[in-house]
Structure 1
């Protein structure tokens, strides 16, 4: 059994998510202790609980320590079967983080995996469903990943109630080499808000603020879709992404009470510009999420704007499960991350 210290480096839920996902894929049992030890409220939260339960169903695993607040679990995987799973994360628990756990083993299933998940689609400290749809999946498709993700209902913090459906086809990952950024071709975005914010033109104001910054930097007029959604509570946000001849990079910004719509749009645009201007091929959020996929492909290289704690953590966990070695090299204003088989 592989022992994983959940307090290592950034010590958050990502250690748990990656450990469980790679346990499913490799068939290696794992014990994760000191779960989220570096967080104000240590132990399993609802989204961690539901992620592990769903992963266990996916591969007929035996699990112990599965309760809210638990700081240690043991996960003994079986064979990844596939099929349909329905998951209710509860209130605004992050759908994006649940998908982080399940998307990795799903491609290794015997048959297609169909996911129906209820929870938060656009919540803090997690990838939005829009980011996964328009940035993560297109990049994974370059590696041979086949997944279709549909947003059925948007869910904001604190009430959630969002819904997605996703189908992932079995397949085999191939290596990726993203070191040349390529020429900017287009910028797209979705500026979204709850229906009760329509009178205040929140989606339009977010979009205009982002559009002004994007046009000034790239001389491209971004295509930003404005959406007002039926939701259980007020909320807003923006997903923004740039496509080049070789890659796609993205950013997300969320509204909150007292935060002006213009600031939401500016944040999304400024972060996107900053990531692109580093010369990197993927943004820092994809940088950590793609690490396990690179390892499962066996050999790959990407460039990222910076080496975050999440990237270091995912490299550490991934090297515990798979016979690979990651190497990091500073290249001008960004960093190359190379993965090779041992």
Structure 2
């Protein structure tokens, strides 16, 4: 089969190109070469979380790989047959477990049997969805497409040591259903979790208070905001101190919109809460059905689904456009994008209707 060649510097030029192209190579059986890996990042080339993501997909398809070392700017991936079973991966740093999970989940959907996976690394990171987002937004959305997956948090992991643990259960599907996420969403309630490890208990409490004040002023009264305050004696507590908050708006049609903010040294807890609340409110005001993080994560799924999918998102990101381009190049999926970068947009895709050959 002819090798696919993907330029890792195109558009967003980051790790998403690697994760998406590797997953699609595994699903199509086409050998893959990615060059100019993470050319627009500093430093460029592979980091440990990207290597772990590629290795995780490789384990699912018995793939041969080349160039998997830190700093490498070119990789090759030669897939064989998808398999199910139990797997364990350790990033070895605070690299994001959720980004590894993003890479292997679409491949697991087309496995001959259920996939169980344990991943060690960072569970709550800058520039990556927190584990709660996967639990409360990502997997519930995929359920509407016919895919049944879940992930449990065993231990939190923050920068710099990581050490977090998650366990996922991923069920194969015969074919993915299309989705239609347009129209004006009605918010039923907003759920939230302010979490902290090895920090004073007033920190998550202050996050929650700032969120409550902001959202109530905006007219949202159905709020269920929880606090998770973990100290070293708790088995779920991270190795390093850390904190953050996630907010999830539950919509009338059963879908969800999320927003989050990770705590930083020197950033007041009130500001952490306010940033998450402002981000959520901005998307709800724009009457989005898909938040801008979910938008880029959905692209590979609607590309694989049978039929036409359409969704409206609050902000068109370069991540989303990059994922679209990779799916067009490898799968030949057809897309229509109505909207400008950084503005609300409607995305329509005619999926290829990939069927699970094992079911």
Q: Normalising TM by the smaller chain, what interval?
A: over 0.9
**Distance of 1:341 and 1:296 partners within structure 2:** 5
Equivalent position SS for 2:241: coil
Question: d(CA) in 2 for partners of 1:106 and 1:235?
Answer: 31
Cα deviations across residues 192-226 of structure 1 (Å, max 9, x unaligned)?
0113322xx11111111111112222432311110
C-alpha distance in structure 2 between counterparts of 1:13 and 1:161, whole Å: 21
Q: Does 1:319 align with 2:328?
A: yes
Q: What residue is the counterpart of 1:161 in the other structure?
A: 163
- Residue 308 (str. 1) matches residue 308 (str. 2): no
Cα drift, residue 340 of structure 1: 1.4
Alignment partner for residue 95 of structure 1, among 74, 97, 117? 97
- Give the deviation of 1:106 after TM superposition: 0.7
Kept after mapping to 2: 8 A contact 1:280/1:335: no
Contact 1:63 1:75 in 2 (8 A): yes
CA distance in 2, matches of 1:69, 1:168: 31
Instruction: Give the equivalent residue in structure 2 for 1:232.
Output: 239
Contact persistence 2:157–2:239 (CA under 8 A): yes
CA-CA distance at 1:341 after TM superposition: 4.5
Is 2:254 the partner of 1:253?
no
Aligned residue in 1 for 2:300: 292
User: 1:189 corresponds to which residue?
Assistant: 192
3-state SS of paired residue (1:196)? coil
Q: Is the CA contact 1:324–1:340 (under 8 Å) kept in the aligned structure 2? A: yes
Q: Does 1:215 align with 2:227?
A: no
CA distance in 1, matches of 2:190, 2:134: 16
TM-score, with length taken from structure 2:
0.92
Unaligned 5+ runs, structure 1: none
How far off is 1:99 after superposition?
0.8
Please give the secondary structure, in 2, of the residue aligned with 1:98.
Answer: helix
Cα separation, partners in 2 of 1:103 and 1:205, compared to 1, 3 Å: same
Shift of 1:330: 3.7
The answer as to 2:328 corresponding to 1:283 is no
CA distance in structure 2 between the aligned counterparts of 1:286 and 1:259, rounded to whole angstroms: 26
CA contact 1:279–1:334 (8 Å) conserved in 2: no
Q: Is the 8 A contact 1:203 1:226 kept in 2?
A: yes
CA distance in 1, matches of 2:347, 2:219: 27
- Out of 330, 335, 342, the residue aligned to residue 345 of structure 2 is 335
Are 1:179 and 2:182 matched, yes or no?
yes
- Cα pair 2:145 2:178 within 8 Å, conserved: yes
1:131, 1:190 → 2: CA distance? 11
Contact 2:152 2:166 in 1 (8 A): yes
Classify the secondary structure of the residue corresponding to 2:218: helix
User: How far did 1:62 drift?
Assistant: 0.9
Q: Is the 8 A contact 1:275 1:305 kept in 2?
A: yes
1:99-137 per-residue CA deviation (whole Å, 9 max, x = no partner) reads: 111111111111111010111000100011001110111
Separation in structure 2 between the aligned mates of residue 69 and residue 60 of structure 1, nearest angstrom: 24
Q: Could you tell me how far 1:154 is from its partner in structure 2?
A: 0.8
1:181–1:244 CA contact under 8 A, matched in 2:
no
Give the whole-Å Cα distance in 1 for the aligned partners of 2:220 and 2:128: 30
Residues 171-210 of structure 1: CA deviation (Å, up to 9, x unaligned)? 1311000102321101001100113322xx1111111111
* 1:143 paired residue among 142, 145, 167: 145
Name the structure 2 match of 1:203.
204
Offset, 1:91:
2.4
Give SS of 1:290's match. helix
